[in-house]
Amino acid sequence: MTKSVVVLDYGFGNIRSAERALARAGADVEITADYDRAMNADGLLVPGVGAFAACMAGLKSVRGDWLVGRRLAGGRPVMGICVGMQILFARGIEHGVPSAGLDEWPGTVEPLRAPVVPHMGWNTVRAPEDSRQFAGLDDDARFYFVHSYAVRAWDLDPRGVIRPPKVTWTTHGEPFVAAVENGPLWATQFHPEKSGDAGAQLLANWLGTL
C-alpha cells in the first residue's frame, strides 16, 4: 500500500527535490503547510536550508513546532534533512548568537571547524551496525553534504534510556553527527534526495517504517 508523505512547506528547503526523490521511492507525496494534512500523513519530512534561527521562525509560522511534537508524541514518523535536522537539537549558535531549537535532543549546532567551509561534497559515514536508516548500504556508500554548521558532540546520556538513539558520524575537519535514528524520528545532515542510489535506499528504508 502506497504511503502518504507531506513535505512541509515552511519557506526553507529543497522541497521539489525532496518531492521527486520520495515519489521515486514509491511514496504519494504532497507539498503543503496545512497543519491537518501534515498531521494526518503517514510520514512528515522537514527539509531545511539556510540559517538556523530563520528556519525556526519559518517553522513556527506554520505551527511546525507543534506539528513535530504532536506527531512524535503519537509515535508518528518525522524525518529532518540538513537544517531540518539541526533544528531538532536544543539550540544553534550562529555568529555567536544562540537560538532555541525544538529540543528533541540535547546538543548544540555550531560552526564546523574545518580547513574548507562550507563542507560541500560527498562523504562516507560511520553508522551503527543495527541501523535501519542505512540497512542495505555498504560502508563505502557516499552521501552529499552542503553545510557550514554541525553538531560536534552528542550530549544525550544513554543511562536509563530504554532505546537510545542510533547516531551516525562522519568527518570533515573534525567528527560531527551525520544522522540520527530515534524511534519515529529520523534525521540526516546530508541530503539523501541529492545522494543518488545511496540516498534513494535511505529514503526507501524510511518509507518502510511508515
Active-site residue flag, 55? no
- The pLDDT value recorded for residue 160 is 67
Tell the residue number behind the cell numbers 554541525, with chain if given. Answer: 150
Q: Which residues of the chain have pLDDT under 50?
A: none
Q: Cα–Cα–Cα angle for 101, 203, 192, nearest 5°?
A: 65
| Active-site hit among 19, 104, 181, 193 | 193
- The pLDDT value recorded for residue 112 is 94
- The pLDDT value recorded for residue 156 is 78
Give the length of the chain. Answer: 210
Give 11's contacts (C-beta < 8 A, 6+ positions apart).
58, 61
Average pLDDT, the chain: 94
Active-site residue flag, 82? yes
Its pTM stands at 0.95
Write out the E strands in the chain.
4-8, 28-32, 43-46, 78-81, 89-94, 97-100, 105-111, 119-123, 143-147, 149-151, 166-172, 174-182, 185-188
- The pLDDT value recorded for residue 42 is 98
pLDDT digit string, tens, across residues 181-200: 999 999 999 999 999 999 99
Active-site residue flag, 94? no
| Active-site hit among 19, 82, 104, 119 | 82
Q: What CATH code would you report for 4-207?
A: 3.40.50.880
- For the purposes of burial, counting CB atoms within 10 Å of the CB of 18, is it exposed (0-12), middle (13-18) or buried (19 or more)? buried
User: Where are the domains positioned within the chain?
Assistant: 4-207
- The pLDDT value recorded for residue 109 is 97
